[in-house]
Amino acid sequence: MYSHHQLVLMITGTALLLHLIGLVFPAAGDTVFDSHYAIDYGQDHVKFLDPQKTRVQLSLDTVSGARFSSKVKYGSGFFNMWIKLPAGDSAGVVTAFYLRSGDHALDEVDFEFLGNRPGENISIQTNVFANGVGNREQKLVLPFDPTADYHDYRILWNPHIIMMYIDGVPIRVFKNNTAIGVDYPSKPMQILASIWNGDYWATDGGRTKIDWSHAPFSAQFRSFDVDGCSSSSTHDQDCASTKYWWNGDKFWELEEGSPKLWYKAMRTLITYDYCTDTERYPVPPPECPSNSYL
């Protein structure tokens, strides 16, 4: 499709683009952690980085990882987290930002950052579970160093579409395809962030293990404001209302123009896509054609 040279130019261009968008996209807010979130795992592996509690650090060592979650569940929203990943040798360490319903037939939308050896770029894996079924992994290599600074990761979830963004650039689309029999997350979900030992799968398919001599591994999080509709019931009609800006028709589709171009540029960084894994899915999953803009 592209020559190698064009590809390199495009990836370089994407890194530059991300940098430029970073300058115009809203900066991280300074909402205090306690207003929407609480620690729910590994209390002694959590540290607030300022007295106002606008930044929090989660650490992983041989004893424990850590996790925090929103105090309530949401039925729709445009969720964001600014994250600075563990620096240095983080192979096998997984940092995650995700939405999860927490019941048996799980609904879940995941960002998982897969740590790596120094000099090897960090990958991000995304997945969508609906009614207990996931297996929808996509993976891309980040074209920047996510350990050097905070970056903005977002999940839009409304009745029409789920979109995932890095620094304002859409990288993944999962539409509501219930009309063709594909389940779509519909249960109230909590916002979670965590750090954990994923070395049985995360790096080189599990062959590269955590080097514990570099522990503790620490990820930092900020921007604890929440644009979401708080809810406790499935298919909450109030949370579907267009009185919430993220449900408006501007957010029903990947927009034409720059967003679509940026999305396409990011696709060149994809290293795995379940939609094109013909060994695993000889017949592509039914949602794939409408979620791809290539």
Which residue numbers are catalytic?
108, 112
For ligand NAG, which residue of 57, 138, 186, 203 counts as binding (CB under 6 A)?
186
Phi, psi of 5 (to 5 degrees): -65, -45
Distances (CA, A) of 179 to 175, 176, 184, 220, 263: 11, 8, 10, 40, 25
Query: Using the rule CB under 6 A, is 129 a contact of ligand NAG?
Result: no
Distance (Å, rounded) from C-alpha 241 to C-alpha 159?
9
- Taking CB under 6 A as the criterion, the residue among 11, 46, 72, 288 binding ligand NAG is 11
The CB-of-141 to ligand NAG minimum distance in angstroms stands at 5
CB 140 within 8 A of CB 269: yes
Residues 228-257, one symbol each (x = binds ligand NAG by CB under 6 A, - = not), give -------x----x-----------------
* Nearest distance, CB of residue 138 and ligand NAG, angstroms: 15
Radius of gyration of the chain (CA): 18
The window from 19-27, 140-148, 213-221, 259-267 that contacts ligand NAG (CB under 6 A) reads: 140-148
Please name the residue that has the structure tokens 């389940």. 183
Q: Is 176 in the site for ligand NAG (CB under 6 A)?
A: yes
CA torsion 22→27→32→35, rounded to 10°?
-90
Is 39 an interacting residue with respect to ligand NAG (CB under 6 A)? no
**Residue 34 or 145 with smaller CB distance to ligand NAG:** 145
Dihedral over alpha carbons 234, 235, 239, 243 (to 10 degrees):
-170
Q: What angle do CA 42, 74, 285 make, to 5 degrees?
A: 95
When asked if residue 15 is in the footprint of ligand NAG (CB under 6 A), the reply is yes
The only residue of 33, 37, 144, 221 in contact with ligand NAG, by rule CB under 6 A = 144
**Helix 4-24 and helix 258-267, axial crossing angle in degrees, nearest 10:** 130
Q: In angstroms, what is the minimal distance from the CB of 147 to ligand NAG?
A: 9
- The yes or no reply on residue 288 touching ligand NAG (CB under 6 A) is no
User: Which part of the chain contacts ligand NAG (CB under 6 A), choosing from 38-46, 138-146, 205-213, 224-232?
Assistant: 138-146
Q: How far apart are CA 141 and CA 150, in angstroms?
A: 17
The answer to whether residue 159 forms part of the interface with ligand NAG (CB under 6 A) is yes
Q: Which of 21, 46, 141, 215 binds ligand NAG (CB under 6 A)?
A: 141
Q: Please tell me the count of residues contacting ligand NAG according to CB under 6 A.
A: 16
